Structure 1
Amino acid sequence: MKSVLKKDKKYTVKKENKRINKTIPLLINIMIPILAIILIGYINRNTLDTYRSLKGILVNEMVIIFPVGYGIIYILMGVSAYRIYMRNKSGVDDKGAYFTYFIQLCINFIWPFLFFTFRLYGLSFIWLIILLVAVLITFYKFFRVDKFSSALLIPYIAWIVFISFLNYFIWFYNEM
């Protein structure tokens, strides 16, 4: 009876360790973009009045939509990256997908500074097009490894197209 209990306890501990080994990478992959956007938001916190003074489509509404939209999208991105990470960890060749994900993430994190901090609306629009290309490459690479991971990036792609549209009109109405 004791040996059965010991085996059950070992099995439970192993099972719990597996769960922890999956949970920590998931949290890390979700928290990387979330913490970065919180930091960017903090750095750009004094630009809200400037943003509200801009002419353009949905400018005032975006103050509410931005945090919610980015929050949802960054969670989906994190889950998507986590799935690729776990595939890579299990021995599946990710064909550079995880690396490409981080490249597009770096490109993404530069845009708020171009747009909000430096008010370079034309350059930030061009930067969004570069970001869109990088995300489409990431989507393709994710698709080759895990189709569900790539599907999780579809809202992100739609969001970038939407933000590009808004950015273009802010550029058009305020600098052209």
Structure 2
Amino acid sequence: MRVISARDDRAAVSGRWWRYGGAAAAVASAALAGSMVVDADGSWYRTLRKPPWQPPPRTFGLVWTPLYASIAFACGHALGRARGRERAAIAARFGANLALNAGWSWLFFGCRSPRAGLAGTLLLDLSNAELIRSTARRDPTAARAMLPYAAWCAFATGLNASIARRNP
């Protein structure tokens, strides 16, 4: 039998803060990196032919804010359920996913290429599926928290494909 001390409690709380704080910092960094090139009010983007079902511009900020929060929660939660190599693998998968997330903005807006953006978002969709699948084995709660993000990215892929098709 082991006696749990106040020191053990402080260490557990501190570990949670580091996991969730680190995940939130990684997500915020990815969001910032991606936003650096987005210019939805710029002439290039405004002249693109878009489908009539594209949401209004303000929708994107309203949707991405809680999605980014859910990614940070899922990452912090999953990291708390894993140890050793498994924890490192989860962190690497989330990191790669965030890089793909930020990379889409650079491909679409930075390169001014809906086709490059489409390639990027297809890779992001694959990453989302793998991240959810691999996370679900250890932490179903974290995997479920990622589902709205994956659904929105799938919608964004359809939107990106429609824009690429309309703007050869």
TM-score (norm 2): 0.83
* Structure 1 or 2: more helix by fraction: 1
**Residue 127 of structure 1, aligned match among 114, 120, 123:** 120
Q: CA deviation at 1:17?
A: 4.8
Q: CA deviation at 1:38?
A: 2.2
Contact 1:52 1:59 survives alignment (8 Å): no
- The CA deviation string for residues 17-40 of structure 1, in whole angstroms up to 9 with x for no partner, is 532331232122022112321233
Q: CA deviation at 1:98?
A: 2.8
Structure 2 residue aligned with 1:170: 163
- The CA deviation string for residues 124-173 of structure 1, in whole angstroms up to 9 with x for no partner, is 11221111111101111000110011001101110111101111111111
In structure 2, distance between residues paired with 1:60 and 1:149: 28
Shifted more, 149-158 versus 32-41: the winner is 32-41
In structure 2, distance between residues paired with 1:76 and 1:19: 20
Percent sequence identity over aligned pairs: 17
Report the structure number with the largest CA radius of gyration.
Answer: 1
Contact 1:104 1:134 survives alignment (8 Å): yes
- The CA deviation string for residues 68-94 of structure 1, in whole angstroms up to 9 with x for no partner, is 2221111101111111111224x6945
Unpaired runs of 5+ in structure 2? none
Contact 2:133 2:143 survives alignment (8 Å): yes
**Residue 20 of structure 2, aligned match among 1, 26, 31:** 26
TM-score (norm 1): 0.80
Unpaired runs of 5+ in structure 1? 1-9
- Are residues 54 and 137 of structure 1, via their aligned partners in 2, closer, same or farther at CA, if it must alter by over 3 Å? same
Instruction: Calculate the aligned-residue CA RMSD, in Å.
Output: 2.3
How many residue pairs get matched? 162
Contact 1:34 1:75 survives alignment (8 Å): no
- Are residues 68 and 138 of structure 1, via their aligned partners in 2, closer, same or farther at CA, if it must alter by over 3 Å? same
- Are residues 31 and 94 of structure 1, via their aligned partners in 2, closer, same or farther at CA, if it must alter by over 3 Å? closer
Contact 1:81 1:101 survives alignment (8 Å): yes
